[in-house]
Amino acid sequence: MDRSNRQPRAAHSTFAALASRNYRLYWLGLVCYVLGHRAEYVTFAWMVWEISREPIYLGYLGLAQGVPLVVFQLFGGVLADRVDRLRLLIGTQTLTASTLAIAFGAAWPASCAWSTCWRWRR
C-alpha cells in the first residue's frame, strides 16, 4: 500500500457543521422547536395537575400523548413519501397549534388571574 498518494486529513471539529449558515439556521430552529415542544408537555401536565390533583390523570395524559406517536409513526413515513411535504408540514403544525390553543383556552378560566378579575367585576 502506497501512502504517498494520500492527502493529509484536516482535523475535524465537533462543531464544523455549524460553519454552514443554512445548517446553523436549521439547528437553531430545531432547538427552538424542541424547547417549545417540551414546554408544551410540561404545560399540559401542569394544567392537568392543577385541575385534578390526581396522579392517575397524569398517567392518562402520558398515555394520550404517547399512543398517537406510536400509531402515527407507523404511517408517517409512507405519508411523507406520498404527500407534498410542504402541505404535510403546514397541516401538522396547524394541528399542533390548534391543540395548544385548545389547551390554553381550557386553562384560562381556571387561572387565578381570570377568577380574580371575574370576582372583581361583580
pLDDT tens track for 9-24: 655 788 899 999 999 9
pLDDT tops 50 at residue 34: yes
The pLDDT value given to residue 94:
93
Asked if residues 110 and 50 have their Cβ atoms less than 8 Å apart, the reply is yes
Write down the pTM of the prediction: 0.56
The pLDDT value given to residue 121:
47
Amino acid at 8: P
- Sign of the alpha-carbon dihedral angle for 49, 52, 55, 57: negative
Please state the rounded mean pLDDT for residues 73-85: 88
pLDDT band at residue 85 under the 50/70/90 scheme: confident
Domain positions in the chain are 19-111
